[in-house]
Amino acid sequence: GAVVSQHPSRVICKSGTSVKIECRSLDFQATTMFWYRQFPKQSLMLMATSNEGSKATYEQGVEKDKFLINHASLTLSTLTVTSAHPEDSSFYICSAPSGREQETQYFGPGTRLLVL
């Protein structure tokens, strides 16, 4: 089946630095990818929709200048957390729809970010 990968799987950084997280669809093309943030033992919160060749669409309350999204190709979307702070520490997950009618979502394994 379709696979979505994320890199890195975990990252520790200092406050004020920027961190880039990659999301790749390994055996299918994705014109759209979704970025989520997961709080402990809770729902995935949709942050933004990444669109290949155009600007990302951000959910209300998500700062687009802080969470930069680039959908450079049909198999790669990147999320850059700029000037990271401890409150940005979380689990970031991407997903990509597939299928003729985009009816199936494939999720990445997640990236654990810890900002010191």
Partner 1 sequence: GQNIDQPTEMTATEGAIVQINCTYQTSGFNGLFWYQQHAGEAPTFLSYNVLDGLEEKGRFSSFLSRSKGYSYLLLKELQMKDSASYLCAIMDSNYQLIWGAGTKLIIKP
Stretch binding partner 1 (CB under 8 A), from 11-19, 60-68, 74-82, 99-107: 99-107
Q: Which stretch binds partner 1 (CB under 8 A): 16-24, 40-48, 64-72, 82-90?
A: 40-48
**Toward partner 1, which CB reaches closer, 16 or 99?**
99
CA atoms within 13 A on the CB side of 69: 26
Would you count residue 46 as binding partner 1 (CB under 8 A)?
yes
E strand residue ranges, the chain: 4-7, 10-13, 19-25, 32-38, 44-51, 57-58, 67-73, 76-81, 90-98, 104-107, 111-115
Q: Check if the beta carbon of residue 46 is closer than 8 Å to that of residue 58.
A: no
Give how many residues touch partner 1 by CB under 8 A: 21
Under the rule (CB under 8 A), what is the footprint of partner 1?
1, 9-10, 34, 36, 41-46, 91, 93, 103-107, 109-110, 112
